[in-house]
Amino acid sequence: MTATITKAPLKRGNRSATDRQQWGSPATYFIAFVFIALCLGPVIYIILGGFRDNSQITMDPAGLPGPWRLDNYQEVLASSTFWRQVGNSAIAGIATTLGVVILGLMASYILARYRFNGRGAMYSLFAAGLMFPMTVAITPLYIVIKDLGLMNSLTGVILPQIAFGLPVTVIILVPFLKAIPDEIEEAAAIDGTSRLGFFFRMVVPLSLPGVVTTGILAFVASWNSYLLPLFILGDQDMYTLPLGVQAFASQYSVDTAKVLAFTSLSMIPALIFFTLFERRIVGGLTGAVKG
């Protein structure tokens, strides 16, 4: 309470001081503009390239579309391969996200609000997982999946993705759950709510911002993941988008324009998803990183 009261006048003083210099210096804008142009240039090249045809690309590799051709995009959008891969990616992404969020939230709740022997060890176990991305475990992971009979199935991709998504989720969610004041839990207890009831009625809603962040991170990671599907999914019908894009690019390596169209269409979902939730992602990273 005191914090909010003392903060308020400071904030106001701050604003009147910054009103004068709100536009900042032109140099700042210039540098920001150059940087953004460098960031977006290749992306724009991919998107525009899809609107050209191969003779245009051969004549002038760095030129603009002229005339604009829509048939590359139309052909990709009309192909069942593309949509099947979108479907596979969506299933893998959604299942991974749900798994990571549900398992991660439950485990984080235990780590944040229960006191028991081995709690430190359990936290270290998950935190250590941060150090071992999937690359290191991919060969034996392939063997485990094969032994479980999950080769060529999306389940074989989803389960490891959930497992490897858990460390980040736990690291981000535990501070969120710790921050819920004990008083709320005590009040709930006095009102007769069990700890499990408290979990479902209070913890889940209160930790929603963190949950959304971890969910988005898990979804985008799954949507973009390449190495694991490369090992697990051998059957073209099970391909997710990254595998599909790569297969398409090598299959139509002479048809650059079509490859560019396919590539730009496959990045749209992740971009939309990110734009919608940008604030959450950045906010979540802040929570996880600030000391």
Name which of residues 69 to 88 contact another protein (CB under 8 A): none
- 147 is written with which tokens? 């032994």
SS3 per-residue string spanning 181-235? CHHHHHHHHHCCCCHHHHHHHHHHHHCHHHHHHHHHHHHHHHHHCCHHHHHHCCC
State in angstroms the smallest separation of the CB of 67 from another protein.
19
**Whole-angstrom Cα distance, residue 103 to residue 227?**
23
Q: What are the CA-CA distances from residue 233 to residues 128, 144, 154, 266 (Å)?
A: 28, 14, 8, 18
State in angstroms the smallest separation of the CB of 84 from another protein.
17
Binding mask 22-61 for another protein (x = CB under 8 A): xxx---xx-xx--xx-xxx-xx-xx--x--------x-xx
Q: Which 186-205 residues touch another protein, going by CB under 8 A?
A: 186, 189-196, 199
State in angstroms the smallest separation of the CB of 78 from another protein.
21
- Spatial contact of 218 and 101, defined as CB atoms under 8 Å apart: yes
User: Residue 187 contacts by C-beta under 8 Å, 6 or more apart in sequence?
Assistant: none
State in angstroms the smallest separation of the CB of 226 from another protein.
5
- Spatial contact of 286 and 100, defined as CB atoms under 8 Å apart: no
Task: Say which residue the tokens 């593309």 belong to.
Answer: 82
Q: Does 270 bind another protein (CB under 8 A)?
A: yes
Q: Does 135 bind another protein (CB under 8 A)?
A: yes
240: helix, strand or coil: coil
Among 1, 116, 183, 254, binds another protein (CB under 8 A): 116
State in angstroms the smallest separation of the CB of 128 from another protein.
9
Q: Which 223-262 residues touch another protein, going by CB under 8 A?
A: 223-227, 231, 241-243, 245-246, 249, 256, 259-260
Q: Which 162-181 residues touch another protein, going by CB under 8 A?
A: 162-164, 166, 170-171, 174-175, 178-179
> Would you say 24 or 74 has its CB closer to another protein?
24
Q: Does 5 bind another protein (CB under 8 A)?
A: no
State in angstroms the smallest separation of the CB of 76 from another protein.
14
- Spatial contact of 50 and 257, defined as CB atoms under 8 Å apart: yes
